[in-house]
Amino acid sequence: MADNAEILSGLAEIVEEVAGIDTAEVTREKSFVDDLDIDSLSMVEIAVQAEDKFGAKIPDDQLAELKTVGDAVDFIAKHQ
Amino acid sequence: MTDGVVVTGFGATTPLGGDAASTWEALLAGKSGVGTTQAEWTEKFDLPVHISAQLAVNPTEVLPRVQARRMDRCEQVAMVAAKEAWEHSGLGAIPGEDGAAVEAERLAVVLGAGIGGAPTLLAQDDLLEEHGLRKVSPLTVPMLMPNGPAAMVSLEYKAKGGVHSPASACATGAEALAWACKLLRDGEVDVVLAGGAESCIVPITVAGFVQARTLSSRNDDPERASRPFDTGRDGFVLGEGAGVLVLEREEFAKARGATVHGRLAGVGLTSDAFHITGPDPEGEGQVRAMRKAVENAGLQPSDVTHVNCHATSTVVGDVGESVAVRKALGDHPVLTAPKSALGHLVGGAGAVEGIISLLSVRDDVIPATLNLVDKDPKVELDVVAGEPRKTTVDAALNNSFGFGGHNASLLFTKP
């Protein structure tokens, strides 16, 4: 089980890999769409990689609700 | 009187070089881009062809990593060539940015591929079969769709004047330039990024071309394998690469003070409706394409001193083209066959060879056809061999023909 800090850093690595955004930019309060400019296609890639990394299933209807990095970290922490 | 169409920029990435200048230099130096295919699958599938013309510079080495990972290699090579062409044109700022020379609505893209994103299709199908839906990339469709290369370039340069993707197999790149020319003459737009791209050196395309008996299997001597017009020719060598030209309405280019490298003075597009892969043995469609291009430019056949041939190094095709050139233009044109050095870039060929034809006009030099040791006696025209030939080239005709019976001829002239 990864703690929240580990999930955040792991998620930041995935975002960097998929969208080329510096890991330091990927902080809890950032919106994936509005702040990090990540499109819907990249969000699917990020979700699949996060599922593999943390063993947390992210259904499509839930993915749409994960607006910020913090939302995603909390969801993964709860469902891993 | 319609506006003329001028070339203000060009870019290429080919088996001979990572840009247009290095490609041209290598071509004049008589270098070959053909080698042993660097892939494990030739042995795995026991393919009889182990040679190809792979890119001199991997596009992932020059594109930003994230941009590259969202694109099929065919889209990557289109982007590399487009970036060079845009830079070369001096258009500068992208439409919508301060100081942009062209409006987004007056900029179009006409760029196609012959095979396109098939490698992505195959790779993603493997993932689906092996790992199921979750592993299939959400980028699969934009990476494999035939309009992908054109669409990717339109995004990069904010082109809102239309994005068009001709698909005519090995004539695609040339057909793209022809349609771009028509758009500009109609005054639809001021500037077009036009060209062709291909990267399909993968097992299934090689196997398919092998089964169609079209590829050279001179595995022990790759650099001698592509030998258009030579009696020893035994098929083409599959290559990869892209070429993009910046074409502009002459008035527009003049008004912005652009450097003009030459003009696309005439275009001719015809079709054979004869056979799905074989050319019409009478060459009737090819003759009409060449004549149309010359008439379209307001010139006479006698004005065309040089033909940059499609000649792929197949037994039937090369002779057929030389006969068609004689019928269309006469005995005077001097020929060359750049696929002897580049291999066959399929959808990219017409655009890259269009650039080469333009450079022959600009620099008054015709590159040599490599490996032309024993010219086929049925080829009754002068073919440059051995060394490049310095000669005045006022008008160069560039031919491209494709599976499906597509014939495209482009006529380039001096500024």
Q: Report which of B292, B277, B286 is spatially closest to residue B321, judged by C-alpha positions.
A: B286
pLDDT band, very low/low/confident/very high, at B1 (cuts 50, 70, 90): very low
Over the range B33-67, which residues count as b (16 or more CB within 10 Å of their CB) and which as e?
bbbebebeebeeeebebbbbbbbbbbbeebbeeeb
Q: How far apart are CA B233 and CA B339, in angstroms?
A: 12
Backbone angles phi, psi at B217, to 5 degrees: -115, 30
H helical segments located in chain A: 4-19, 40-54, 60-63, 69-79
- What domain range includes position A51? 4-79
Closest CA to B366 of B376, B379, B377, B381: B381
Average pLDDT over residues B243-254: 98
Structure tokens at B166: 């001709």
DSSP lists the bridge partners of residue B269 as B408
Going residue by residue through chain A, which has 80 residues, state the pLDDT in tens, using 9 for 90 and above: 789 999 999 999 999 999 999 999 999 999 999 999 999 999 999 999 999 999 999 998 999 999 999 999 999 999 98
Instruction: Just give the CATH number of B7-261.
Output: 3.40.47.10
Tell me the HSE value of B71 on the side-chain side, using a 13 A CA sphere.
Answer: 28
Which among B257, B100, B108 is positioned nearest to B179, based on CA atoms?
A: B108
pLDDT average, residue stretch B196-222: 96
Interchain contact B257–A (C-beta under 8 A) = no
Q: What is the pLDDT of residues B367-397, one digit of tens each?
A: 999 999 999 999 999 999 999 999 999 999 9
Tell me where in chain B the CATH 3.40.47.10 domain(s) lie. 7-261, 263-413
Nearest to A41 among B65, B66, B138 (CB): B138
Give A 12-71 residues with CB within 8 A of chain B.
Answer: 18-20, 40-42, 44-45, 48, 51
pTM of the complete model? 0.96
Q: Tell me the residue type at B187.
A: G
Is residue B106 within 8 Å of residue B161, measured between CB atoms?
yes
Disruptive mutation site among A45, A46, A51, A52 for chain B (greatest number of B CBs within 10 Å): A45
Can you give the pLDDT at residue A1? 79
Helix, strand, or coil (residue B107):
strand
Nearest-by-CA chain B residue for A50: B134
Cβ–Cβ under 8 Å, residues B259 and B237 = no
Chain B hits for A48, CB-CB cut-off 8 Å, are: 134-135
- Nearest Cα residue in chain A from B134: A48
Judge whether B309 and B236 are in contact, CB under 8 Å.
Answer: no
Indicate yes or no: CB of B138 within 8 angstroms of CB of A51: no
pLDDT tops 80 at residue B34 = yes
| Structural domains counted in chain A | 1
Q: How many CB atoms lie under 10 A from the CB of residue B387?
A: 10
Amino acid at B111: L
How far is it, in rounded angstroms, from Cα B317 to Cα B281? 9
Residue B2 pLDDT > 80? no
Mutation target to probe the B interface, by most B beta carbons within 10 A, among A14, A15, A22, A48 is A48
The Cα of A29 is separated from the nearest Cα of chain B by a number of Å equal to: 23
Asked whether the beta carbons of residue A18 and residue B139 sit closer than 8 angstroms, the reply is no
Residue B44 has what DSSP assignment? H
Give residue B3's pLDDT: 76
CA distances, B156 to each of B43, B63, B78, B96 (Å): 39, 12, 11, 12
Distance CA B28, CA B302 (A): 26
Across B36-52, average pLDDT: 93
User: Helices A4-19 & A40-54, crossing angle to 10 degrees?
Assistant: 140
CATH of the domain at A15: 1.10.1200.10
**Model confidence pLDDT, tens digit, residues B147-179:** 999 999 999 999 999 999 999 999 999 999 999
Tens digits of residue pLDDT in B100-158: 999 999 999 999 999 999 999 999 999 999 999 999 999 999 999 999 999 999 999 99
Mean pLDDT taken over chain B: 96
Contact A48 B134 (CB under 8 A): yes
Identify which of B34, B80, B85, B74 has the alpha carbon closest to the alpha carbon of residue B57. Answer: B80
Q: Mean pLDDT, to the nearest integer, of B208-215?
A: 95
Residue B79 CA to residue B71 CA, distance in Å, equals 9
Tell me if the domain spanning B263-413 has CATH number 3.30.450.20: no
**Catalytic status, residue A60:** no
Report which residue type is found at B162.
G
Q: Provide the pLDDT for residue B278.
A: 85
Among B66, B69, B138, the residue with its CB nearest the CB of A44 is B138
Q: Which of A13, A15, A41, A57 to mutate to test the interface with B (most CBs of B within 10 A)?
A: A41
Neighbours of B337 (CB within 10 A): 32
